[in-house]
A and B are shown apart, each in its own frame.
Chain A
Amino acid sequence: MILAAVGSIGVTHYLLVGGLMFTAGVVCMAVKRNALGVLMGIELVLNGANINFVAFGSSYLAGEGRSPLGLDGEVMALFVILLAAAEAAVALAITLNFYNNHGTVDVDRADDLRG
């Protein structure tokens, strides 16, 4: 019943999932006071963008003819995963440094550079 309502899966379904994950990540970045929560929001945003890359590159989901991106979408997704891992490592090091210096991970307390 539900499956009949969904119908056959196309690119749009993947785009909807990616859009919801992107929105959740943006809200997570904006709302969380914990620096690690902000970091998780960034991961969600990158993951949502990755879903779009894979969906556009998949020849399984393309309706007729070839997919517009082809293999390039998957290569871009791989690069995004690599850069996300690198970014998580550096951001976590910065967070640990901040915790060592201030004794907290509350980003509202990181106002040392306020003019």
Chain B
Amino acid sequence: MLAYFLRRVMIAIPTIILISMFVFSLQHLLPGDPLLVLAGEERDPETLEFLREKYRLNDPIPVQYLAWVWNALQGDLGTSFRTNQPVTELIAEKLPVTLQLAIMSLIFALAIGIPAGIISAYKKGTVTDWAANVVALSGLSIPNFWLGIMLILLVSVKWQLLPASGYVPPGEDLWQSIRTMLMPAFVLGTALAATLMRHTRSSMLGVLTSDYVRTARAKGLSERVVVLKHAFRNALTPIVTLTALLFGELVAGAVLTEQIFTIPGFGKLVVDAVFNRDYAVVQGIVLVTAVGFIVMNLLADMAYMLLNPRLREA
């Protein structure tokens, strides 16, 4: 079991190194010179030279890379060209906001997607199955921004039930924080619920016709136990993988939703940084996101081990 875990971690390390190289080379591949932004109107060669020296842009690229990695390992991802704030600080400030959004969205997605997928697989070919599929397809095709705006219009403006936008840190007022995040989380969650539902359905369909499900029925167990215990436990592996990937996507890709609900999250940070050619920030964000993805994958691998007794001893 430990060996399996270590092997997974060993695979993750070269991946992280490759990603860090890619992330680092990003700034040299992208067009435009950030120093021009930084130097502002003056563009005085001496200032530029000073800045180059300051950000060590004159060093050979491998040296720059190693310096960057060394600093990154110590938690220093450089400073923003724009605000002069340390990148680590910026990320630490915005990430919890997006994490909260991602977790709440995921709860919505799981709570809707999995039961819907199980029911639609169990009732395959019936009106229920058909209806679930139609709803799922709509969930996939309705753009987030449209759903978000509609919700704001109805729930906030018309019924005045929930705040339309903004962010309240959970440490300040937990209840208010959850209330503010409810709508954006729902908007993000429904889209994922549709994906989850489709995957749960196909996974369950495969399992429901298996011999061990027949055995479970032959024991006289109730359909509930047959489906939720015997079938679902076996259908879980692809669902766990998908959930881990979806979570990563949520952290990285909530830009639009954050924009609509004016949430000061990760997505906004990314967009601003890209537009401003704030390379240090972009690098930091890409690196953190990539590592986040890898960690989620590791967690998914760990979950397989818990789910599949075959892996436990390998």
Does B associate with A?
Answer: no
